[in-house]
Structure formats: C-alpha cells, structure tokens
C-alpha cells in the first residue's frame, strides 16, 4: 500500500501536473473549487485549486523520483526530515469538500470554545481532527490538515462534533 504525499508545483500548474502524472500511471489528485469569476465583459464559472501550489500524489517507491522529474514540480513537502505523509482520511475529506461545493452546511456546537481540539464523529469527515481558531459567524470551524499545515474552513453540524 502506497502513501499519499504532497508536492509543491509552480503557480497555476496544479491541474496540468495532475493530468500528466495520471497519464503516466501515477495517482495524483488536486481538489478543485468552482468560483464565479467576473471580467469587464462577462462572468464565468471557473474551476480552480482549493489549495494553491499543491498536488497530492500516491507514488510507489519507484515512481517517487519520476514525480520530481515532471515539468512544473518543484519538490516534495517535507515534515520532520521525510516526505510529508497525508492520511487517506484527509484525502477523503478534501474529496468530500470538493464534491459538496467547498462548504458543508450545518451548525457549530455552542460548547466548543476557541482553542478547543475537536474530532468529527460521523459523516464524510469522520475522524478528522481540528482546532477551533475562529467562530466567524457561529457556523464555521477551522479544521487544520496537520500534515501539510494548511487550514480549510468547513461547516459541520454540532451533533457530530466532540472535544478531542
């Protein structure tokens, strides 16, 4: 079984790198979000990366170096002297966020306070851990994906949150 890893890529090259890696038989994933972009003469729905500059890859030991040889790939994200490993649950959470249109609707638990560690107990984000860093509008919690030190804002029903 191979682990998910993350590579830094050139700006605005995420989708092309992902496509080329998949064509070479290396499993790659870029979470996308749909945004309405407005120009002076028109509006258009555009898919852009949810996390700029990152492509998630699942290479075998032999394919690891082939990823680095791909055009626009800069380097692997490192953590404690080794390639950062992304848990499958974190990739599934990103896929769920992408599938549901970036945000998941729901209410935020009143018993949770700033700085509280939380864990999601049910649903597509089950097992994902986060720390409450802000209550923007009483509905949002910041869930940190610790392996890559990036935070996404997701809304979850209060019934499925508990203190970790």
- CATH number for the domain that contains residue 82: 3.30.70.940
**CB-based contact 128:90 (threshold 8 Å):** yes
Indicate whether 10 and 53 sit together in one domain.
Answer: yes
Among 43, 66, 86, identify where a domain stops: 86
Q: Which domain holds residue 163?
A: 89-164
- pLDDT(141) > 70: no
The number of angstroms, rounded, from the C-alpha of 72 to the middle of its chain's C-alpha atoms is 20
- pLDDT(90) > 90: no
Q: What is the DSSP letter of 161?
A: E
* pTM score: 0.67
For residue 45, what are the contacts with CB-CB under 8 A and spacing of at least 6? 34, 35, 36, 37
Confidence label for 107 from pLDDT (cuts 50, 70 and 90): very low
Least confidently predicted of 5-9, 24-28, 131-135: 131-135
- What pLDDT sits at residue 106? 37
Indicate whether 47 and 58 sit together in one domain.
Answer: yes
* Pairwise CA distance, residues 98 & 50, whole Å: 8
- pLDDT(32) > 50: yes
Tell me the β-bridge partners of 119: 129, 162
- What pLDDT sits at residue 119? 76
For 23-42, what is the mean pLDDT?
Answer: 91
Indicate whether 99 and 142 sit together in one domain.
Answer: yes
Among 20, 55, 86, identify where a domain stops: 86
């Amino acid at each position: 079984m191979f682990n998910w890893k993350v590579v830094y890529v050139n700006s605005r090259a995420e989708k092309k790198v992902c496509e080329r890696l998949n064509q070479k038989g290396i499993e790659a994933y870029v979470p996308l979000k749909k945004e309405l972009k407005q120009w002076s003469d028109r509006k258009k729905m555009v898919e852009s990366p949810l996390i700029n500059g990152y492509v998630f890859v699942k290479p075998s030991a032999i394919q690891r170096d082939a990823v680095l040889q791909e055009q626009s790939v800069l380097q692997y994200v490192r953590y404690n002297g080794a390639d950062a490993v992304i848990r499958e649950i974190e990739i599934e959470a990103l896929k769920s966020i992408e599938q549901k249109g970036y945000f998941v609707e729901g209410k935020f638990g009143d018993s949770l306070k700033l700085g509280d560690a939380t864990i999601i107990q049910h649903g597509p984000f089950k097992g994902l851990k986060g720390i409450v860093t802000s209550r923007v509008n009483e509905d949002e919690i910041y869930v940190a994906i610790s392996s890559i030190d990036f935070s996404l804002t997701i809304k979850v029903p209060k019934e499925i949150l508990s203190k970790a």
